[in-house]
Amino acid sequence: MKKNLVSATVFFLILCAGPVFAANLTDTERLGKLVYESKLLSWNQTQSCATCHNNATGFADLNNATVSLGDDGVSTGGRNAPTSAYCGLSPVLHLDKAGEYVGGMFWDGRASGSRMHDPLAEQAQGPPLNPVEMNMPDVQTIIDRIARDSEISFLFTAVYGADAFTDVNNAFDNLARAVASYERSTEVSRFSSRFDAGSLNAQELRGKKLFSQNCTVCHSMARLGGGFPLFTSYKYVNAGVPKNPALEYDPNCAYRYPDLGLGGFIGDPAQNGKFKIPTLRNVALTAPYSHNGYFTTLKEMVSFMNNRSGFTPEVADNLSTAVGNLGLNDNQVEDVVAFLNSLTDM
Ligand code: HEC
Ligand code: HEC
């Protein structure tokens, strides 16, 4: 009896521990978190990774901006910030047996991962040096700043050795690896949604069934490597999303019409208009939607996936026919949206 009471109390305490598992982070993950949240990585020290990928908004833009504002306070990027969570299993960009591109990072796969054998780490080196994002002049300046921060440099040398700052390029790689390890940690990629807990209501269960019939060719629910579904196959598709006129004529915005996506990076017209299939975990928190943020609400986005008639695609080539004419009625679209809402981490 007493034993039961003790274990019940322990169980209750575990439940109350809530979503933040900070205590469980390894030194490398803690270092990554410090860097991820540090504004030292931006030239005017106005922003960190967490500004555009924040816990409060499913690790997407804290202000739910269509395109994120850069460190200079004027420039914006040309694409909507996706979540930085659940990206850690994306393989190095490669062609599969069917001749389709799989893996890499960013909407167009340009952080391919081939240099560091880790797309997520390679991605982390992009924003600090990007003029419309964190706007740092060079790698040396980034490492100098990090080395001068006592808390970060203490952990950095504890993890990577006393001479960790000597070779700047090596230090920059390790900095990126630490950030990636934090993004892969249980604090960021939590798998703690009601979907994971298996506690869906009747409407969400109807939505789940419709989702598996209509959406999983792209937003895969396969348990890759025995883990939980990530709702992406890491492939690239032209879903036919229209251009975003709100961005087209903004002189401070890096958006250039048409955005060719993977085709622009690879330089092969057969890939024009294709964008990475995004994970849908925490999607209820990450509005607006699609690579250019054209869709404001989840309902609008899912309605488009269901029926894209009346929309002019940004790129007309290579349109996928597996999406855009699914034949769901309005109630069924609502059910799918309800299901997507169950993918929010607790
Ligand atoms: C000013 C806003 C901004 C900042 C700061 C920023 N990002 Fe991003 N991030 C974006 C945008 C926008 C994209 C999509 C760009 C693209 O695909 O071309 C992106 C893409 C990503 C992706 C790719 C996700 C995927 O599924 O392909 C990851 C991961 C990521 N960022 C992590 C980070 C990290 C780590 C940092 C800090 C070192 C950071 N970001 C800083 C806006 C930002
Ligand atoms: C043929 C592949 C394919 C199918 C089928 C598909 N999607 Fe997608 N989905 C994509 C691609 C690619 C994008 C990104 C498109 C872009 O930004 O240009 C996307 C984007 C989304 C987004 C926006 C996510 C974000 O973070 O911006 C949602 C939500 C979504 N899909 C839900 C669904 C639902 C629900 C279904 C089934 C009713 C579905 N999709 C079917 C490929 C597909």
> What CA–CA distance (Å, rounded) separates 232 from 333?
20
* Degrees, nearest 5: CA angle 173-177-178: 120
Looking at residue 10, what is its pLDDT? 40
Q: Could you tell me the two tokens for 228?
A: 């939980």
Neighbours of 81 (CB within 10 A): 26
Distance between Cα 61 and ligand 1 center (Å): 9
Distance between Cα 218 and ligand 2 center (Å): 8
Neighbours of 329 (CB within 10 A): 9
Closest Cα partner for 159 from 144, 145, 146, 141? 146
pLDDT bin (cut points 50, 70, 90) of residue 249 is: confident
Mean per-residue pLDDT of the chain: 92
> What CA–CA distance (Å, rounded) separates 60 from 51?
8
Please name the residue whose Cα sits nearest to atom 16 of ligand 1: 106
The residue assigned the tokens 């555009």 is 52
- Residue 124 confidence (pLDDT) above 90: yes
Distance between Cα 327 and ligand 1 center (Å): 34
Q: Which ligand is nearest to the Cα of residue 295, counting in written order?
A: 2
Looking at residue 58, what is its pLDDT? 95
Ligand 2 pocket test, pick from 66, 80, 215, 221 with the greatest ligand atom count within 8 Å of Cβ, gives 215
Distance between Cα 31 and ligand 1 center (Å): 19
Distance between Cα 305 and ligand 2 center (Å): 6
Distance in angstroms between the alpha carbons of the first and the last residue of the chain? 32
Q: Could you tell me the two tokens for 165?
A: 């700052």
pLDDT, one tens digit per residue, over 141-177 is 999 999 999 999 999 999 999 999 999 999 999 999 9
Distance between Cα 181 and ligand 2 center (Å): 27
- Residue 106 confidence (pLDDT) above 50: yes
In ligand 2, the atom with minimum distance to the C-alpha of 236 is 12
> What CA–CA distance (Å, rounded) separates 242 from 7?
55
pLDDT, one tens digit per residue, over 40-90 is 999 999 999 999 999 999 999 998 999 999 999 999 998 999 999 999 999
The residue assigned the tokens 């080539």 is 317
In ligand 1, the atom with minimum distance to the C-alpha of 42 is 5
Q: Could you tell me the two tokens for 301?
A: 């986005």
Q: Could you tell me how far CA 212 lies from the centroid of its own chain?
A: 22
Looking at residue 224, what is its pLDDT? 73
Please name the residue whose Cα sits nearest to atom 7 of ligand 1: 52
In ligand 1, the atom with minimum distance to the C-alpha of 79 is 12
pLDDT, one tens digit per residue, over 329-344 is 999 999 999 999 999 9
The residue assigned the tokens 């040309």 is 78
Nearest-10 Cα torsion for 342, 278, 75, 53: 50
Q: Could you tell me the two tokens for 316?
A: 């007309």
> What CA–CA distance (Å, rounded) separates 306 from 304?
5
Amino acid at 16: C
The residue assigned the tokens 């790698």 is 139
Amino acid at 157: T
pLDDT bin (cut points 50, 70, 90) of residue 248 is: confident
Instruction: Please work out whether the CB of residue 323 comes within 6 Å of at least one atom of ligand 2.
Output: yes
Amino acid at 204: E
Closest Cα partner for 28 from 125, 141, 164? 164
Summarize the confidence of residues 280-308 as an average pLDDT: 97
Looking at residue 17, what is its pLDDT? 40
Q: Could you tell me the two tokens for 268?
A: 């092969």
- Residue 6 confidence (pLDDT) above 80: no
> With contact defined as beta carbons under 8 Å apart, do 132 and 42 qualify?
no
Distance between Cα 267 and ligand 2 center (Å): 24
- Residue 199 confidence (pLDDT) above 70: yes
